[in-house]
């Protein structure tokens, strides 16, 4: 008899966490290592302890709650993150962590002790909205980024990750990655429109798109907007605009899973009647295929060089993040599909367009992800929404899968 997730408890927990850093429209702003993030962390740690988990905080602020097994084996781990973007929703990341806690609650209620230990984790700064790179905590956990480099990452005001970890009391003693899981499973909302459009309940995630984030700093010459003939302009904003349109065209031409976004842009002096002498902007390129992603990067670079030459601009480029596409463990992916179907839930195999902590954990152990629908695909948006029935169904799939893997050979 498989225990059942307490749906009311899950929804209540999501609601309580969403009140911390709540913003107009129903969303959350808990930027990594901010006061709001600290308050969210404190709440989830209290819940972990109330469920009897042994809580370990590591040196990059990742928090792991451990539930002992019958044997002293590497734990089966689940989890996600609880930081948000500035205009975030209430489910992104939080859902995976709190559903993990509901699995623990269900096991406690049913007085089940699994063969392997079970761990529920939340990782530091998954979003990358305040500090780059994103997925920082899980990347450090998996050995892909050194602690000192991570500590040195600074936000726009020059405040560093190291200082903020100390300030909010989450620079822990544990070595990141000290617990090497037997397997890692992350439950998450899709953050895209496909499951909702196709009315499929469970997404079986086979892979994660590769991510390429570049910041461009363009220097031209500021000049009077009325008196400077077009042929003499050295307009830094023009290059930013040109890359925006080129990236759109490129993504459409390349098709498939290629996406491209200019999300951040600032001009200087930013006045109506002055040709901008400086533009700082970002480009986010993603593809499930590494070769195609490299092709996109190369074509953008060629376009930037061409426009910079024509307009006589200087361009500095800085890679803010670069991750190759990740393929999840096929056996574990099959188990996700199996358990969803056993619960009579429709499934769809798909790549993840967003980056997730699970892709970092795949470096350490077999990993996989479970997606639930996101209404209209709204994500990083206060209106992000998933139906309660889908939230509960996803948590039940997680429970059944964790039990299976924790008992298995």
Q: Which is nearer to a copy of itself, 259 or 365 (CB)?
A: 259
Both tokens of 77, joined, read: 């781990």
Task: Please identify, using beta-carbon distances, which residue of 226 and 409 lies nearer to a copy of itself.
Answer: 226
Site string for a copy of itself, 75-114 (x = CB under 8 A): ----------xxx---------------------------
- Span interacting with a copy of itself, options 34-42, 275-283, 357-365, 393-401, rule CB under 8 A: 275-283
**Chain position carrying tokens 């491209």:** 260
- Of 16, 166, 167, 248, the one binding a copy of itself (CB under 8 A) is 248
Query: CA-based angle 52:56:59, to the nearest 5?
Result: 165
CB of 223 to a copy of itself, least distance (A): 6
Cα 394 to its chain centre, rounded Å, is 18
The residues, ordered by sequence, that sit 6+ positions from 320 with a Cβ below 8 Å of its Cβ are 132, 133, 213, 214, 215, 282
Return the residue of 78, 124, 209, 362 that touches a copy of itself, per CB under 8 A: 209
Residue 213 · residue 321 · CB < 8 Å: yes
Q: Is 347 in the site for a copy of itself (CB under 8 A)?
A: no
Contact between 259 and a copy of itself (CB under 8 A)?
A: yes
| Residue 303 in contact with a copy of itself, rule: CB under 8 A | no
Quick one: DSSP state of residue 312? T
What 3-state DSSP class applies to 187? strand
Both tokens of residue 54?
């042994």
Q: Is 349 in the site for a copy of itself (CB under 8 A)?
A: no
3-state secondary structure of 154: strand
**The one segment of 55-63, 127-135, 141-149, 178-186 that binds a copy of itself by CB under 8 A:** 127-135
Q: Does 225 bind a copy of itself (CB under 8 A)?
A: yes
Which ranges in 219-364 belong to alpha helices (H)?
A: 236-254, 290-311, 330-342, 357-361
According to DSSP, the β-strands at 367-372 and 183-189 are parallel
192 is an interface residue for a copy of itself by CB under 8 A: yes
CB 25 within 8 A of CB 378: no
Binding of a copy of itself by 277 (CB under 8 A)? yes
Which residues of the chain form contacts with a copy of itself (CB under 8 A)?
85-87, 127-129, 132, 134, 190-193, 209, 211, 213, 215, 221-230, 232, 235, 237-238, 240-242, 244-245, 248, 251-252, 259-267, 269-277, 282, 284, 286, 320, 352-355, 377-381
């Amino acid at each position: 008899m498989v225990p059942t997730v307490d749906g009311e408890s899950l929804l209540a927990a999501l609601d309580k966490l969403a009140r911390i850093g709540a913003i107009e429209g129903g969303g959350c702003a808990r930027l990594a290592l901010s006061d709001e993030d600290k308050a969210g962390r404190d709440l989830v740690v209290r819940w972990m302890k109330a469920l009897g988990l042994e809580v370990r905080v590591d040196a990059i602020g990742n928090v792991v709650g451990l539930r002992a097994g019958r044997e002293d084996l590497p734990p089966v781990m689940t989890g996600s993150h609880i930081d948000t973007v500035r205009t975030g929703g209430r489910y992104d990341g939080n859902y995976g962590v709190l559903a993990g806690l509901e699995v623990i609650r269900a096991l406690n209620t049913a007085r089940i002790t699994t063969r392997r230990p079970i761990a529920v984790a939340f990782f530091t700064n998954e979003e990358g909205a305040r500090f780059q790179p994103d997925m920082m905590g899980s990347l450090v956990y998996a050995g892909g980024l050194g602690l000192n480099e991570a500590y040195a990452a600074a936000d726009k005001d020059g405040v560093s990750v190291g200082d903020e970890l100390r300030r909010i009391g989450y620079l822990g003693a544990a070595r990141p990655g000290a617990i090497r899981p037997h397997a890692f499973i992350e439950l998450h909302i899709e953050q895209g429109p496909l499951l909702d459009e196709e009315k499929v309940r469970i997404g079986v995630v086979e892979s994660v798109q590769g991510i390429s984030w570049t910041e461009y700093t363009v220097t031209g010459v500021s000049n009077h907007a009325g008196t400077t003939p077009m042929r003499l302009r050295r307009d830094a904003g023009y290059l930013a605009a040109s890359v925006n349109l080129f990236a759109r065209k490129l993504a459409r031409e390349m098709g498939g899973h290629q996406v491209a976004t200019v999300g951040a842009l600032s001009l200087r002096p930013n006045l109506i009647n002055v040709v901008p002498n400086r533009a700082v902007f970002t480009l986010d390129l993603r593809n499930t295929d590494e070769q195609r992603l490299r092709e996109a990067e190369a074509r953008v670079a060629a376009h930037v060089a061409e426009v910079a030459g024509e307009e006589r601009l200087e361009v500095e480029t800085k890679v803010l993040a670069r991750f190759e596409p990740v393929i999840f463990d096929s056996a574990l992916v099959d188990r996700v599909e199996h358990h969803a179907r056993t619960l009579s839930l429709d499934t769809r195999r798909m790549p993840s367009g967003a980056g997730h902590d699970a892709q970092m954990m795949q470096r350490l152990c077999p990993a996989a992800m479970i997606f639930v629908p996101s209404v209209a695909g709204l994500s990083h948006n206060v209106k992000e929404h998933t139906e309660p029935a889908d939230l509960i169904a996803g948590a039940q799939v997680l429970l059944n899968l964790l039990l299976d893997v924790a008992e298995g050979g």
